[in-house]
Amino acid sequence: MKQEIAYLLSSVDGLEDFSTDYPQEMATFPCAIYRTAAEGHAIDAYRNELQTKWTVVIEVYGIKSVSDLAANIADGMRKLGFKVSDKDANVAGLKRIVLECRAIVDNKTKIVFL
């Protein structure tokens, strides 16, 4: 899933940089910082994880409005099968939109569902 998200972010026109870590100094805009969390959703009697619940948080930063970029990223995540919620969270003179994306992935079929 992490590779899919990195591929999605790399394909968004206008996004100058993205990372899983906050940089020491934010100098390139617009940029995105994302993190992922996964937990077992369905586990069989043999302790095999059949389904995984994924949460992906993507923070989109810019000096100017990042609404269009965030909308493009959200559309891409929806195409992957994620439910997406967003909120404005401007900080210290920067525009920021936080996208929270959730889905369950069947580890055998690779089908993504809510």
Q: What is the pLDDT of residues 44-99, one digit of tens each?
A: 999 999 999 999 999 999 999 999 999 999 999 999 999 999 999 998 889 999 99
Residue 10 makes CB contacts below 8 A (sequence gap 6+) with 18
Global confidence as pTM:
0.93
User: How far is it, in rounded angstroms, from Cα 66 to Cα 56?
Assistant: 18
pLDDT value at 112 more than 90: yes
Domains in the chain: ranges and CATH: 2-113 (3.30.2000.30)
In tens, the pLDDT along 28-46 reads 999 999 999 999 999 999 9
Burial class (CB in 10 A: 0-12, 13-18, 19+), 82: buried
| Two structure tokens written together for 87 | 């909120």
